[in-house]
Structure 1
Amino acid sequence: MKQIFRNIDKYNAGSVELVPEEPEDMWHAYNLVAVGDTLRSTTIRKVQTESATGSVSVNKVRTTLTIQVETIDFDTQGCVLRVKGRNIQENQYVKMGAYHTLDLELNRKFALGKHEWDSVAIDRIDMACDPTQHADLAAVIMQEGLAHVCLITPNMTLLRAKIETTIPRKRKGMCAQHDKGLTKFYDQIIQAVLRHVNFDIVKCVLIASPGFVKDQFAEYMFTMAVKMDWKILTDNKSKFVLVHSSSGFKHSLKEVLQDPSLAPRLADTKASAEVKALDEFYQMLMNDADRASYGVKHVEKAVDLQAVEVLLISDELFRAQDVQKRKRYIKIVDGVKENGGEVRIFSSLHVSGEQLGQLSGVAAILRFPIHDEDDDSEEEG
């Protein structure tokens, strides 16, 4: 994400102009834009004109509109953010108060205005504009006939290629057909890896599968790399790690990232920090339950007592349309930071974020035990 300008006053009101440069930036934009904000961007509008002779023609014109946001829709596959609202600035093509949908896309700048920029939104802009934040982990989750090539960034898992092919079964005297199908399948995966994995940034590539599929694929890939002189693969052979998964479907990535034997290899990658924090929380919940808290009410109580050492909170909570709800979660984050605690904001597009969502989206590891008298009380979702 590139920041063009930032103009936020002492009351935290103002606007920021940004340019999304990669798919993950669209996820940041989705988390920044809220109902009630003002958004300015270029758009295409159909304009009807009538000539002196009375003939009517419809033309498409490019214009800049400023709308007040009413609805937000994020297309994760196309990486497009569709924002609908009413026009609030004079425009020669669009009447004041008329509805329009702005499509925020890669490399199209937009200006976002808020009455109040909270600490979480400002931190997100600072993080998104940090050039060191890139996808440094890749994964190939596979089984015979199905493979998913993913890039794992600090905030989302990007599916870069899905390879699905029918491989003939092994039959007596028909092994050649099976081997031919398998070779074609492996070749497609290799091409996807070469096309989508930037080895200058990626520190580790996981190859996961049930059984020996991963081993056979890795052996084939590096044999071909030597034969075809693919130096990019031979030079980075040490970055590939083979690991077991229960299937070749994308959801198996969760168990792969939780594999304790992988921890040393993933220590330097950003995605592992979320998995590690969640794992530590579950360990604390099992071994010393009074030092693990989850649910809004319980965590708020821990924050008031300055007991929170690590806060785990889902970014989904900050997208709540209810302003008071959003402010409640911001207050929790600010309270933990003020007392020297660590805040980890989980992405709801990560498997670890989905898991945290099942715990109401907010949890905490505490500095000292707190016994809750109302443990049986109903938690807020």
Structure 2
Amino acid sequence: MVRQYGLDEIGTISRARVGKRYAVEREADERKFFHKLAAAMNDIISRESVRAAIVAGPGFTKDAFVEFLREKYPELIPKVKIDNISSGGRVGLYEIVRRGLVERVSRENRVSFETSLVEQLMMEIAKGGPATYGEAEVKREAEVKRAASLGAVERLLVADELLRRNRAGVEGVLEQARRTRGKVIIVSTEHDAGKQLSALGGIAALLRFKV
């Protein structure tokens, strides 16, 4: 796993190399290996709340593994990114980091995550669901503050542009949401969803219940 302090090698799953075997036996052996690998991936993704997993390697085994996931573990596919590297093992892990694959996947995944939240927000607003929004320093912001004070905020979306412009003005709402177990998500205004949030005033909330 890639953590803030660097690579964290959680474990190794090896596949025994056996001499000449029938094709059927080799395929069965490969599928057993894939099952172990997929089960470990599934466990780590669930336990660590991983949003993306990179499957990389120098040969075609990675492609076969991804096809196996499509067949047996389709729920993992949206999180999987595949790429080529020149080496396996720990050397390959460092190559993934050195080539910027982690940063690229993280950036793409973050944009997708933020976009899905803003889309959910717009859907709830359109149907009068549990959501609210408001511009800083104008009347509607009081609705977001009130929702936060009542512990109704499940996710508070804040445009990074608003934080840069008026952090002091929204800091109280952020702290109130955190105190009541709301998640604060800073949304980049460099993509369309962030611009959409900015047009709503730069601050909005998906609520646990309507207020």
**When you count helix as a share of all residues, which structure comes out higher?**
2
Give the shorter-chain TM-score range: 0.3 to 0.5
TM-score, structure 1 length as denominator?
A: 0.28
TM-score, structure 2 length as denominator?
A: 0.47
**When you count strand as a share of all residues, which structure comes out higher?**
1
Q: Highest Rg: 1 or 2?
A: 1
Q: Larger relative CO (CA 8 A, sep 6+): 1 or 2?
A: 2
